[in-house]
Amino acid sequence: MKAACYETTGPAAEVLRLIDLPDPEPGAGEVRVRLQWSGVNPSDVKSRAGLRNKAMPFARVVPHSDGAGVIDRVGAGVDASRVGEPVWVWNAAWGRPNGTAAQYVTVPARQAVRLPDGVPPEAGACFGIPALTALHAVQGWGGVEGRTVLVAGGAGAVGHYAVQFARLLGARRVLATVSSEPKARLAREAGAHDVIDYRRDDVAVRVRELTAGQGIDRIVEVDAAANGRLDAELLAPHGELVLYGSGAAEFSLPFFPMILRNATVRCFIVYQLADADRTEAERTLQRLLTERRLVHQIAERLPLSRIVQAHELVESGRAVGNVVLSTEG
Ligand SMILES: NC(=O)c1ccc[n+]([C@@H]2O[C@H](COP(=O)([O-])OP(=O)(O)OC[C@H]3O[C@@H](n4cnc5c(N)ncnc54)[C@H](OP(=O)(O)O)[C@@H]3O)[C@@H](O)[C@H]2O)c1
């Protein structure tokens, strides 16, 4: 099969290359997926760049955890009726050497989830990381029904889903921050009641106005280092700050605004969701997909052969939505 891989961490153009590998065989309890799309996430790009750890976790890595395709083989112990099932996959490259930047991937059967009818397969390559992160940030810890939610970066791959989930799961009011008018439009179309341009407007003043001084019950935060201090001031009493991203390795939060509000800080990484949380998130996602309630914001579709460009695009922060690679042909 054709695949993309790297054998040392470093810049995309220097370390990523296309190779031919033997088609993988599913082991016991696994399925093999003939991939159609591979999703590129900031996490894949950071791992390849060696930002978290310069050392390689395996001698060779085929990157990307998200993907979509069709099950074409099953290993021992897996129901053979799954052959032919359209699926999206999660955690394909988490703790595993061979991710979805290839024509085939094998994963434990549980990590290949049926793609409901009518969902475009390229969207399926955006669920494992962006959609499930957004869903857990919104639905976790009792959810947001009747609550006021602020999604920082409401046009981002995660943020755009988070705005939709907040609306669909009953938030009373959904605010989003963005940095441009096109992004404001996307966040509004996703369901945000109010959109604030964080580069132009005074976010604290706007939030006070828009919530009549009540503040925000749950903030879904993309950049803890940039916004943590401000977030502490925006929270309502007993508010929750849900941190899923940070632009810097360290950040600080001001103690007094947090303690005076009895605020809660929650951090999570989607790769390591507890089983019960993952099951709950998957169930909600499948329901909303089946009901055709979600909009999928694909920023760029590229062939696998242009993986370097795809990584550079994600790295630049210029992509508005998800970047996906076609693995067919
Ligand atoms: N914890 C997890 O499991 C998890 C899962 C997925 C992603 N992440 C992390 O979350 C981050 C975002 O991922 P993504 O895939 O959504 O990336 P993305 O598609 O690039 O979206 C990031 C969004 O945040 C906006 N943004 C950047 N700085 C901001 C700031 N200071 N205030 C408000 N908005 C800001 C960006 O737009 P502007 O720059 O135009 O404002 C962009 O719309 C990455 O760091 C990623 O590694 C973590």
CB 71 within 8 A of CB 107: no
30-40 and 86-89 strand pairing: unpaired
CB 148 within 8 A of CB 220: no
Residues 6+ away with beta carbon under 8 Å from 40: 64, 307, 310, 311, 313, 314, 322, 323, 324, 325
Assign domain 141-271 to its CATH architecture.
3-Layer(aba) Sandwich (3.40)
Round to whole Å and give the CA distance between 252 and 302.
38
Fold of the 2-127+299-326 domain: Quinone Oxidoreductase; Chain A, domain 1 (3.90.180)
Round to whole Å and give the CA distance between 269 and 87.
22
What atom of ligand 1 comes closest to residue 226's alpha carbon? 31
What atom of ligand 1 comes closest to residue 199's alpha carbon? 41
* Tokens standing for residue 176: 């989003």
Round to whole Å and give the CA distance between 225 and 208.
22
- Cα(227) to centroid of ligand 1, in Å? 12
Same fold, 2-127+299-326 and 141-271: no
Question: Where do the DSSP E strands lie in 109-215?
Answer: 112-114, 148-151, 173-178, 194-197
Residue with tokens 């903030």: 219
Domain ranges of the chain: 2-127+299-326, 141-271
**Residues lining ligand 1, Cβ inside 6 A:** 41-43, 129-130, 133, 152-153, 155-159, 177, 179, 183, 198, 222-223, 226-227, 244-245, 268-270, 317
- Hey, is 165 helix, strand or coil? helix
**Amino acid, res. 102:** A
- Cα(268) to centroid of ligand 1, in Å? 14
Q: What confidence score (pLDDT) does residue 290 get?
A: 97
Round to whole Å and give the CA distance between 108 and 175.
38
Q: What confidence score (pLDDT) does residue 329 get?
A: 67
Residue with tokens 């993986």: 307
DSSP state of 62: B
What atom of ligand 1 comes closest to residue 130's alpha carbon? 6
User: Quick one: how many helices (H) and strands (E) in the chain?
Assistant: 11, 15
Top mutation candidate among 150, 222, 227 for ligand 1, by most atoms within 8 Å of CB: 222
* Tokens standing for residue 298: 């694909």
Q: Shortest CA distance to 21 belongs to which of 1, 6, 36?
A: 1
Q: What confidence score (pLDDT) does residue 52 get?
A: 85
Cβ atoms within 10 A of the Cβ of 57, count?
12
Determine which helix (DSSP H) or strand (DSSP E) holds 220, and give its type and residue range.
strand 216-221
* This prediction's pTM: 0.98
Profile the chain (329 residues) by mean pLDDT over runs of 10 residues. 98 98 98 98 98 94 98 98 98 97 98 97 98 98 98 98 98 98 97 98 98 98 98 98 96 97 98 98 98 97 98 97 93
Which residue puts its alpha carbon closest to atom 22 of ligand 1?
156
CB 67 within 8 A of CB 38: yes
**Tally of CA atoms within 13 A in the half-sphere of 239 that contains its CB:** 25
What atom of ligand 1 comes closest to residue 153's alpha carbon? 34
* Tokens standing for residue 80: 């053979």
**Amino acid, res. 99:** G
CB 21 within 8 A of CB 121: no
Q: What confidence score (pLDDT) does residue 38 get?
A: 98
* Tokens standing for residue 213: 């001084």
Q: What is the DSSP string of 211-265?
A: TTT--EEEEEES-HHHHHHHHHHHEEEEEEEEE---SSS-----HHHHHHTT-EE
> Alpha carbon 4 to chain centroid distance?
21
CB 83 within 8 A of CB 4: no
Cβ atoms within 10 A of the Cβ of 326, count?
18
